[in-house]
Structures are given as structure tokens and as C-alpha cells.
Amino acid sequence: MLVCIPQVLNAEQVAYCRARMAEADWVDGRVTAGAQSATVKYNSQLPENSPIAQALGDLILDALVQSPTFISAALPLKIFPPLFNRYENGGHFGVHVDNAIRHVAGTLVRVRTDLSVTLFLTEPEEYEGGELVIEDTYGTQAIKLAAGALVLYPSSSLHRVEPVTHGARISSFFWLQSMVRDNADRALLYDLDQSIQTLANEKGLGDAHVLRLSGIYHNLIRRWADT
């Protein structure tokens, strides 16, 4: 399941992130790559322990909590602290698959990467190239979203970032462990939840059909969720 969510950050939040990142020191992006990924990764990123990266990561996490669509699609249990990268001057990331487990630096926390997230922080017209190309069940999709929007997709997907031939593509990227491990189960729950929300808007929360479907949804969560 691939889900694009607009306006996770508003224009003021995006501008704030961009201004803070302009003050920061960037390092070679291969510092967080696995053995295979490091051979095809050409970008820069903020260090994980950068105070600026940590502050902006907290801002993003706060915004995610306020996004019903994100919560519905991801059903997050653990979220790896957001990282930040920049592609420019031909920078790209060749075809790869994300590591299955991510260790949060300086802690004992490990996150199973069920879902990968890219949150765009530059507008599409600010750079050429840089599409996030994801191979999923429905074929290959090229993603290039407005600043403040994000794409959520299975971490098991093969994906790449096309070369940036002009300008700079800046984004946040991170992974999460969902309460529901199986992608097909999670997609079913997302579709059911979206249908319930639509019906509730039409009929009201007290409608008998809304209540029955809500019960089915929560009973499926009980059956499938890790906590």
C-alpha cells in the first residue's frame, strides 16, 4: 500500500525547517546506509545527533500525531527519529531495499521497518529530477510531492531516487514499525477505516451501520495488532 498525504507540514513549518537546515553542517549520506545501499547512495544528510535534526524531527513527529490519515494508514507502534537529506549536483540513490531493523543511536531501541516515509521539504519546481521511484504491487510509481507532503510505502519495496540535475531536493526520511505487521492486513484496515469515516460524515457517528463497521474494525485491530 502506497499512500500520499498532503500538507502534513504547513508553509510556515516548511519555511522554518528550511531556515534551520541552512544553518547546519551536512555530512555524507552513506553514514546511515547499509552495506548494499552504501554502494548506490550519493547525497548528504544532517548527522543523527545534530541538535537541529533532533529539533526538526520532534516538530515532524508532533505533526504526524495530528494527521488522522497518517495514523489510519500507518497504525504506528514505533517511529524512528526523522532524518534529513539533500540531493544536488547529480546526487541520487540507486535501487535498494531498506534495512529490516533500525537501531536508534544512543539507545537500546530497535525498530522493525514495516513502512518507509519521505516528507518533501522543497517544492517540485525548485529542482529537476529527484523523483522517488517505488516498485510496488501495482507497478512502478514516480513520486514528487509538494513541500510539506509525504509518501508512506512498504519498506520491503525496491525503490530509488533519480539524479537531481538542477537545484536541490531536500526531504525528511524515516521508518516506522506498525502495530499491524502484514501490509495486506494494514491496507484492508485502512480501506475499512476510510469507508467508516465517509459513512459517519453522511449518517452520523450514531448510525447503526457506522457502529457495526466500527466494531468490526476494532475487533480486527485486536486480532492483528502488536502492542
**Tens digit of pLDDT for each residue in 2-31?**
999 999 999 999 999 999 999 999 999 887
Residues forming a β-bridge with 86: 44, 170
Mean predicted lDDT score pLDDT of the chain: 95
Residues forming CATH 4.10.860 domain(s) in the chain: 183-224
pTM for the model: 0.93
Q: H/E element holding 192?
A: helix 183-203
**3-178 CATH choice from 3.90.320.10, 2.60.120.620, 2.40.30.40, 3.30.379.10:** 2.60.120.620
pLDDT tier, 39 (very low <50, low <70, confident <90, very high otherwise): confident
* CATH 2.60.120.620 intervals, the chain: 3-178
The domain 183-224 having CATH identifier 3.80.10: the answer here is no
* Packing angle of the helix pair 11-22, 51-65 (nearest 10 deg): 170
Give the cell for residue 204. Answer: 452520523
Most confident of 36-40, 46-50, 82-86: 82-86
Tell me the pLDDT band of 148, cut-offs 50, 70 and 90. Answer: very high
- Predicted pLDDT of residue 41: 85
DSSP 224: H
Residue type at 169? R
Cell 510505502, located at residue: 153
Q: Does 37 have pLDDT greater than 80?
A: no
pLDDT at 117: 98
| Res 188 pLDDT > 70 | yes
Asked if pLDDT for residue 154 goes beyond 80, the answer is yes
Strand partners, 33: none
pLDDT at 36: 67
Torsion on CA atoms 53, 57, 58, 61, rounded to nearest 10 = 180
The stretch 202-212 carries a mean pLDDT of 95
Q: How far apart are CA 218 and CA 22, in angstroms?
A: 44
Burial class (CB in 10 A: 0-12, 13-18, 19+), 154: buried
Stretch 124-139: mean pLDDT? 92
pLDDT-derived band at 35 (thresholds 50, 70, 90) equals low
What's the mean pLDDT in 75-86?
98
**Per-residue confidence at 137, pLDDT binned at 50, 70, 90?**
confident
